[in-house]
Amino acid sequence: MPLDKETPIYSDHSSSKNQRPFSGQNKDDKYRFKQFVMESGFSVRATNVLIDNVKSFRAFEQLTAEDLAVFPNCGRKTVLEIMNFLNRIGLQREIEAPVSIEELFLESPVDSAIERLPIFSNERFHQITAKDLHPDFQGAVKLEDIRLSHRTFHTLLNQGQMETIGDVMLTTCTDLLSLKNFGRKSLNEIKEVIRSLCKTGSYTPRYQKIQPADIDYSSYENLISSYSQLCIKKKRNQVLTQKMFLFDSERSPTLEEIGQAFGITRERVRQIVKKAIKQFKHTANISQIEKFRMTMDEAIADGGGIIHLQDLPAALKEAFNWPESPNPYALGQFLGIWEDRSAFRKLNDLITGNGDCRFCDIPVDFFETLDFFEHDSFHVAVIGSKLASYCREKCPWNHPPKKFHRAFIEKQVESLDGLVLYEDLVLSREKWLETYCTRLEDVACHVLERHAKPMHFSKIADSVRKKNQNFENLSDHSLHAAIIRYNSFKIVDRGTYGLASWETKTYRSVSTAIEELLDKEGLPQRRQQIIRNLGGEFSEGNITAALSVETRFKNIGDGIYDRQETWKKRTLEKLIQLLPEPVARFARYLTGKNNASYKLVMAFIFVRRMDEGGSIYLYNLKTMFYNFYLSRHKKGLPVEAKSVTMHRIGELNRTEMVNLACQEPLKSFLRSGYFTRFDQNDHQLKLADAVVDRLDASTREILIITILKAVDDYFKRVTLPNAAYQTTPDVPPPPNVSESGIEPGDILEKTSPDTPAGQIYIKKKRRGKIRL
């Protein structure tokens, strides 16, 4: 990206263009230029740009902004960095330099002379030794007398040729970096030591003993700082450890955050902190801050012997006269040197100290003197002040606290029945339930207890809204929905509730009443019969709505209902046993040996629609027979097995379907001896008189229920997976097979190639396979 030539930084460079800093050097030395760039402190991008595009000192000092802008990966920021470096070198050159190298190092060190030392300039001066340096360079100081890092000191000392700091000054940075285990970090460290030595003439002795500093109690920060200096020798580790106990947020800084601040890994931070905490907890060190512990115990004891972590900073501020209170979370970290470090991490954590108030009965006597009938509540501060005055008169140890901490008052209130501490108020439990309680179940119970008799849920909701400030917008529906979920309440009438502990009449719901009626009668009942029996207690609409709940009731057909569980347990044989003998034999004929539902459906329609003489017109019978299957087809219910003609009800026309489907059941009826055709054109079908004579209203109802049970069982079998049904001639049932044919739970298997045509098998539990 081209840059503006009028940028001030470039004009400064052009003004010093006649004073180049490389005029006395070999400009064609590519290797030396590369080393120079790498040691000049450029960023990684700027270093790569210069090494890839500039090959000599001459080309480097003649660079312009326009030249840099065309280099690959050289943006505006990189251009500014390189041009600033050139300007800075040019300005340093303005200082008058010695004429010769000898004069440069034989005089007192100045900035230009220091920067010309081989360790900085990477130039070799073979004619100069450490003894030739001016005494102010401090070149005679031995390396073993200077405090250096363990790696730097031993790497230099092991070379054998470097005994003094002057020997290091006259060694190029390239030679130093070529030493084993001597990296850029060690190079920067020794450079800083040399600059400081040349400019100030002083250095930190290697074996200087750090005298333990006195503990400073003037502030919490000074306390931590002085104690860390006592326990930890290395300055960096002191500052690092202080960050664990001096912070303003709700959590201490993480190891990762501290590591980034100091340029080390979080694992190294963990090691340093672990070692520091061990030193903090050492008996010899922790005894030095015994004054802090004793003062803290006294501050806690003066407030009752117990305090919250959030209140402790204010108490310590008053005790030590600190300018400001410490962060409670940071203080909790510091207290961990006496206790487990995880013991004090929340503001409501309790800290106990010495004191007799926690075991005294006088505070209990004081709370009994409070009049909660005249005053709804008392503030915690008022309680603490009155309790302190009361204890000054009654204290048996003659050293009552000046005031009581909130934690002490909380403990006293918790130990007393009938009192509650809500935020900053102490009040009776009844008043708290009525006004401040946030649990709806407890509030509703309190309303009923005060009313002393059952209430409608709307009145309970109205009372809660008026009294409790947390439920001002509570709706009647919300309260009713909540009450029916709680075991503390029971319904005593429609919409009226009382407490479960009260001895009141239990209300039964519509569904419960229907279930009790069905259990009492012992048989499924028609909807109209249920309405007649329960109409005085429930409305017709509520009864109809309850019967529509499929999880509790089963509509078995023709408006007849039964309980779901009861209907599943009923069997055909038990229903048939309720019929008189002629009708029972007729029922067994209808429900036995059915490979299709035709006979059952036609029998159900016949019994349901026949006249008093036991006859019905064939046209009406066929029409209703077809409509039965058509209704199932429209509702999406199973119509028939795939092999049965009625399964194709959506494909064939009505007349063809009726003629095909009605043929087989009518033949079976006429062959059975129970039915005959009569009138001039045989248009009517009549049931045998022996059966008709025994079919009173109740028997006829049981017969219809029996047929519906057989129909229901049949269609359950149709829906079984992998079922294949075939029409077979009427044959006597084989052994071990019930007279009613295929039972629920039997699985029909498809015929295999090895099975004779026209045969199917039933796999019955514990009986193997039975051929039909």
* Residue 695: CA count within 13 A, CB half-sphere: 23
Same domain, 182 and 239: no
Domain membership of residue 394 (yes or no) is: no
Three-class SS state of 406: helix
Confidence of residue 553 (pLDDT cuts 50, 70, 90): very high
**Cα separation of 68 and 73, whole Å?**
10
561 against 37, higher pLDDT = 561
Domain assignment present for residue 723? The answer is no
Residue 363 included in any domain = no
DSSP run (H or E) holding 431 = helix 429-435
Same domain (yes/no): 226, 340: yes
Bin 738: left if φ > 0, else alpha if -120 < ψ < 50, else beta. beta
Pairing of strands 768-771, 761-764: antiparallel
Pick from 30, 57, 92: which residue ends a domain?
Answer: 92
285 and 344 both lie in a single domain: yes
Is residue 332 pLDDT above 50, yes or no?
Answer: yes
| pLDDT for the residue 727 | 36
Q: Is the pLDDT of residue 239 over 50?
A: yes
pLDDT in tens, 462-511: 999 988 888 989 999 998 888 888 888 888 877 888 888 887 777 778 88
What is d(CA 157, CA 155) in angstroms, rounded to the nearest whole number?
A: 6
What are the tens digits of pLDDT across the range 349-387?
Answer: 888 877 677 777 788 888 878 877 777 788 888 888 888
Regarding whether 251 and 169 lie in a shared domain, the answer is no
Q: Measuring CA to CA, which residue among 567, 568, 566, 586 is closest to residue 576?
A: 586
- Give the residue numbers spanning the domain of 558: 510-567
pLDDT of 343: 66
Q: What is the pLDDT of residues 171-226, one digit of tens each?
A: 888 888 888 888 888 888 888 888 888 888 777 776 544 444 478 899 999 999 99
Do 87 and 133 fall into the same domain?
no
The predicted model scores a pTM of 0.42
In a domain, 285, yes or no: yes
Q: Tokens for 262? A: 């100091």
Q: Answer whether residue 405 is part of any domain.
A: no
CATH of the domain at 537: 1.10.10
Give 644-681 pLDDT, tens digit per residue.
Answer: 878 888 777 888 888 888 888 888 888 888 888 876 56
Rounded to the nearest 5°, which phi and psi values hold at 657? Answer: -65, -45
115/192 same-domain check: yes
343 vs 239: CA distance, rounded Å = 24
Helices (H) and strands (E) in the chain, counts: 39, 17
User: What is the edge-to-edge ordering of all strands in the sheet holding 425-428?
Assistant: 377-379, 425-428, 419-422
Residue 252, token pair as written in the block: 């201490």
684 and 713 belong to one structural domain: yes
Q: Is 148 left (phi over 0), alpha (psi -120 to 50) or beta?
A: beta
Do 196 and 225 belong to one domain? no
User: Do 448 and 542 sit in the same domain of this protein?
Assistant: no
pLDDT in the model for residue 103: 65
Rg (CA), the chain: 51
Q: Residue type at 407?
A: A
Do 213 and 115 lie in one domain? The reply is no
What is the model's pLDDT at position 733? Answer: 38
| Sheet with 761-764, side-by-side order of all strands | 747-749, 761-764, 768-771
Q: What is the token pair recorded at 659? A: 């003629």
C-alpha 228/C-alpha 282 separation (Å) is: 12
* Residue 708 CB partners (closer than 8 Å, separation 6+): 556, 557, 558, 560, 604
pLDDT over 80 at 529, yes or no: yes
Among residues 319, 274, 314, the alpha carbon closest in space to that of 292 is found at 319
Please name the residue that has the structure tokens 């027979």.
625
**Number of C-beta neighbours around residue 280 at 10 A:** 23
Which residues lie below 8 Å from residue 652, measured CB to CB, with a gap of 6+? 645, 660
Residue 49 sits in the same domain as residue 74:
yes
Integer Cα distance of 754 and 768 in angstroms: 18
pLDDT(400) > 50: yes
Pairing mode of beta strands 747-749, 496-499: unpaired
- Does position 256 have pLDDT exceeding 90, yes or no? yes
The answer to whether residue 383 sits within a structural domain is no
Q: Whole-number mean pLDDT of the chain?
A: 80
* C-beta of residue 558 within 8 angstroms of C-beta of residue 701: no
Indicate which CATH number applies to the domain containing 15: 1.10.150
Q: Show the tokens assigned to 577.
A: 């046993």
Separation of CA 635 from chain center = 45
The three-state secondary structure class of 313 is: helix
Structure tokens that stand for 187 in this block: 């190079």
Is 428 inside any structural domain?
A: no
Count of alpha carbons within 13 angstroms of residue 73, beta-carbon side: 11
Number of folded domains that form the chain: 6
Domain end residue (candidates: 48, 66, 92): 92
The confidence score (pLDDT) of residue 651 equals 79
Sign of the CA dihedral 579, 580, 582, 588? positive
Look up residue 400 and give its amino acid.
P
Asked, for residue 698, whether it belongs to a domain, the answer is yes
516 and 630, same domain (yes or no): no
Residue that finishes a domain, picked among 523, 549, 567: 567
Cβ-Cβ contacts under 8 Å for 368 (sequence gap 6 or more): none
> How many whole angstroms separate alpha carbon 604 and alpha carbon 601?
5
β strands within 494-533, DSSP E: 496-499, 525-526
Q: Evaluate whether 285 touches 230 at the Cβ level (below 8 Å).
A: yes
